[in-house]
Structure 1
Amino acid sequence: MTDEQLMQIDAENPLAININRKVVLNGAVLSGTHGCGLSWNPCFPEGNGPEAKNVIQHYGLDPAYGWAIWRAAFPWTKKRKPKITTLSITLMQRPAAISGPHFHVSAPGERIEFIHPTTGTQHTLIVQEYEQREISREHFNSQNQESPTHYTVMRYALSQDLPDGTFTVTDCVHSDQPRQNRTNPNESQAFIGICVSIFGGREQGKLHVACSALHFEPVNDVEWRMVFYEKSREDVTVEMIQA
């Protein structure tokens, strides 16, 4: 499936509830350390594992509904358990990725107009810099593998700039996989694939940066994709204990 299809599946899946949790104890925010979770799918009850079945029974949940159950650990701020006077939990949905328009760039100064899929507001992406670059091979330590080093970097600004974390630009294709180093033909042919990425989408004031995928040869025409990140649910705060 394409990246766009995977984004749509993740955004529309009712059991893919990606949330952040904030626990406030006696007015102080606790830091989470670890957690785990599982889902109960009512459409295919036989496909649920024994652990999910036990959890549904333990909490007395109706198996006709879908459930996403999470457990998270929030240690005390001090070694000893404090006297609990107030306790609240806030559930915050992580923004879901929404695929946007594709576009091509040939030189700095180009302007790409687009409509925000949620607000309907028109924006303009203005290309400030656009150039091909190459990573030094000194950054790769493997003597048995050859890694792709060519990429394209684009710096751009937005008219009516969007809040941090709600918009980015990515390459429509993935990086080339590392390959056996041709200069060492006698070395073992087995190797572990490495996922190589370049930091992108970082904001410098009003200037944003996007980097393409890595390739063994320079790519003259990169197809870029806009990605929006939106929340479909409001934050929910539950007062567990009130003074």
Structure 2
Amino acid sequence: MEYIDEGQARLEPFRFPKGYRGPDFSVWYVTSSGEFFPVSHRERPGVQLPFSGEFSFAGYRWLVPGVYSTAKALVVDLCREVPLQAIQDFIQKWNLTLENDDIDCFSKAQRMEMEAENPLELEVSPTAVVNGREHPYRRGTGLFYCAKLEWPGSDLTGEAVAKHYGLNQETGWNLWRYVFPWGRRKQVNTLSLTLQTDRARWPGTPFQVKQAGEQVELIHPRTGESCTLTVRDFQRDALDSDRIPGREEWEFPNHLWRFTYAVEPEVPGLTIEDGEEGDRPRPKPRPETGRGDRSGEGGSTAAFVTAQPEAASIGIIGGADGPTAIFLRDDEDPRRHTAFSALRFQREEPAAWLPVFRDAQGKRGHFVLQQED
């Protein structure tokens, strides 16, 4: 495999600037920064507009308690009420305690299932329609608050927002602040919101692959519908580690397995992933100490490669721990799919492959906000 484009980003240790005092929760100061309590007050505060809303969407009650006009953008605060019982049921099902409230305590499939089931986990993409013209959001802040949950690190910001708007303290809340930039400040005569949720991802039953010709029955964990996966090819591969960004200071895993397959019948949104996480990058030993320098641990990479001889394009997506996931799009035969394992230092065969079923579509709704007299 050969890199045709590459990029690199380094995550440096975070340090508060000199003189940083933190947010002042006693002052309600709305700006276009997207923060609930911005530290900087250089921007003039927004003016609250006489719009609000309450509606039902995706099985929950929603509130729009505050809309603000700033010089740079429209700012909308959005709240989703989450029943306390739903939160408690989720905690009980997964036996979440102070000791095991960590992603390392759960497998990849479990974490994916938890994310899909978590009543406090919902990705929403809003669009504001101002005087009939759409304005997509560009940035924002999201958090949750539940006064009845005793969990360390409770968000003081969430508590301050909930108290400012007088939200019910007997339930849970998702709190978002969305920023919709506009060219210049507008007089808002009509205002509505379009909400679009992301498609949930559901893990199926892990399986193993040994050779071409194998067939595996895959069952959708929610609908019970089944399909048959046929392995066409199964082989090991490697990336050219000399071309990986950041290799001067870091060693990146570059060994992987891949297999091509067909699915009958085709299932939209089905992908096959490595059932386990890959190896993390490790710092190269320093000549003078023989030990790696971890001062900048958390390098992030992103690259795109081509695979020969197939007419396909591959994307490698990197997070804080380096290249972690690989995806392929086949430009000649859309019915031919390719799955890649996570990257590892050794040529280890994956313990299991994980089928992932993505919902066909998210939920969408349009809601007109009422203008107060």
Q: TM-score range by the shorter chain?
A: 0.7 to 0.9
Structure 2 CA distance, aligned partners of 1:122 and 1:162? 9
Asked whether the equivalents of residues 40 and 66 of structure 1 are also in contact (C-alpha less than 8 Å), the reply is: yes
Structure 2 CA distance, aligned partners of 1:156 and 1:187? 44
Q: 1:119 to 1:59 in 2, by over 3 A?
A: same
After TM superposition, what 4+ stretches of structure 1 lie above 6 angstroms from structure 2? none
Q: Which moved more, 1:196-205 or 1:29-38?
A: 196-205
Tell me whether 1:53 sits opposite 2:156 in the alignment. no
Partner SS for 1:227: strand
Tell me whether 1:63 sits opposite 2:166 in the alignment. no
1:133 is matched with 237
Aligned partner (choices 326, 338, 341) of residue 209 of structure 1: 338
Structure 2 CA distance, aligned partners of 1:82 and 1:232? 34
Asked whether the equivalents of residues 93 and 231 of structure 1 are also in contact (C-alpha less than 8 Å), the reply is: no
Asked whether the equivalents of residues 106 and 221 of structure 1 are also in contact (C-alpha less than 8 Å), the reply is: no
For residue 177 of structure 1, what is the amino acid of its counterpart?
R
Q: 1:64 to 1:198 in 2, by over 3 A?
A: closer
Deviation at 1:17, TM superposition (A): 2.5
Partner SS for 2:327: coil
Aligned partner (choices 322, 326, 342) of residue 195 of structure 1: 322
Identity %: 29
Asked whether the equivalents of residues 275 and 350 of structure 2 are also in contact (C-alpha less than 8 Å), the reply is: no
Partner SS for 1:101: coil
Tell me whether 1:30 sits opposite 2:135 in the alignment. yes
Deviations 1:176-195 (A, max 9, x none): 22335479575552232542
Deviation at 1:241, TM superposition (A): 6.3
Deviation at 1:26, TM superposition (A): 4.2
Deviation at 1:86, TM superposition (A): 4.4
Deviations 1:162-183 (A, max 9, x none): 23xx322111122122335479
Unaligned runs of 5+ in 2: 1-105, 299-320
Structure 2 CA distance, aligned partners of 1:58 and 1:105? 55
Asked whether the equivalents of residues 286 and 292 of structure 2 are also in contact (C-alpha less than 8 Å), the reply is: no
Asked whether the equivalents of residues 101 and 225 of structure 1 are also in contact (C-alpha less than 8 Å), the reply is: yes
1:228 is matched with 357
The aligned length equals: 238
Structure 1 CA distance, aligned partners of 2:156 and 2:130? 34
Unaligned runs of 5+ in 1: none
Structure 2 CA distance, aligned partners of 1:213 and 1:233? 28
What is the aligned-residue RMSD (CA, Å)? 2.9
For residue 273 of structure 2, what is the amino acid of its counterpart?
T
Q: 1:240 to 1:142 in 2, by over 3 A?
A: same
Structure 1 CA distance, aligned partners of 2:142 and 2:361? 21
Asked whether the equivalents of residues 233 and 260 of structure 2 are also in contact (C-alpha less than 8 Å), the reply is: yes
1:149 is matched with 254
